[in-house]
Amino acid sequence: MKLNHVRQALTVLSCVALSALVACSSKPRGPVPVEDRVAGHSSARQVKAAAPSSNAGAVSSPVSMGATLPGSENAGKPGYYSVRPGDTLTKIALDHGHAWRDIAKWNGLDNPNVIEVDQVLRVAPPESKVATAPKPSAVQTQQAAQPAPQASPAPAMEDGMSFAWPHPGQVLAGFDEAKNKGLDFAGKAGDPVLAAADGKVVYAGSGLRGYGNLVILKHNNTYLTAYAHNQTLLVKEDQAVAKGQRIAEMGNSDADRVKLHFEIRKQGKPVDPSKYLPSSP
């Protein structure tokens, strides 16, 4: 009997010991790796969740870039212009011989400061507003055949207008189509800058890079004149000015020295002012 009790006791102890061993060995191995794996899976899910957001941006970008811009159907047509990097409405207007306000109106621009690269703008008056020149009368035809009088101090323009010197100072730099689109005059700060012909102020400000404080006058549908690097502007946009009127004071805004940069633009294209000015101031 005692032997049987001993055997039973040993069996019970063995079971208890085995259970304890199993419990001890399984406890550290179970939860710790599971927690690590869960953390790992959680991290992986976060990366995968973030990836679609990044990919969505990459997909949407070409879509927005490919959006149709205003006027794109007119690209390449006469009288239209595709905006390039660095363009401003003032520069576009100057290059095409018009007031920036007119171009803004023709294109229905609510904010003229906001234009986009590749946007196509109308840079010529709508056809409905283009006036047709009347046929010359017999008297006009006869007069046109006669030699023009040579009394004008300035070269005769095809529309009868002439220009005066905007400043009597020394010419520092002559016209060069590639490097200098006008004439540069020497002078002192505060010297008067004069309107070269009757006209209307279509721009007065400093928004065109490289020109400083700038005045642009429109004389007719053919000619503009520009007066750059001024110290002070004495006129405002839409103001009518007379030939020889003081419109600004010479300065060195956006320039390396005090000077007047003067341009004549024919239908937006820079031309040599010396061919349009009298032989002397």
Whether 176 is in a domain gets the answer yes
Half-sphere exposure of 231 toward its Cβ, with a 13 Å CA cutoff?
Answer: 14
Look-up of token digits 């973030």:
50
Does the structure show a pLDDT above 90 at 80? Answer: yes
Q: What is d(CA 273, CA 174) in angstroms, rounded to the nearest whole number?
A: 9
The number of beta carbons lying within 10 Å of the beta carbon of residue 74 is: 15
Q: What is the mean pLDDT of residues 176-186?
A: 92
State the Cα angle at 60 between 54 and 62, rounded to 5°.
120
**Residues 177 and 103 both lie in one domain:** no
This prediction has a pTM of 0.65
Give yes or no for a contact between 208 and 86, defined as CB atoms under 8 angstroms apart. no
Q: What is the mean pLDDT of residues 159-182?
A: 90
Q: What is the mean pLDDT of residues 188-195?
A: 97
Q: Which two tokens stand for residue 99?
A: 């007031």
Confidence of residue 83 (pLDDT cuts 50, 70, 90): very high
Instruction: Domain count for the chain, please give it.
Output: 2
Q: What is the CATH number of the domain that holds 91?
A: 3.10.350.10
Nearest to 277 by CA among 243, 242, 249, 239: 243
Whether 56 is in a domain gets the answer no
Whether 232 is in a domain gets the answer yes
Structural domain boundaries enclosing 231: 162-275
Q: What is the CATH number of the domain that holds 194?
A: 2.70.70.10
Give yes or no for a contact between 231 and 254, defined as CB atoms under 8 angstroms apart. no
Whether 156 is in a domain gets the answer no
Helix (H, G, I), strand (E, B) or coil at 228: strand
Give yes or no for a contact between 194 and 227, defined as CB atoms under 8 angstroms apart. no
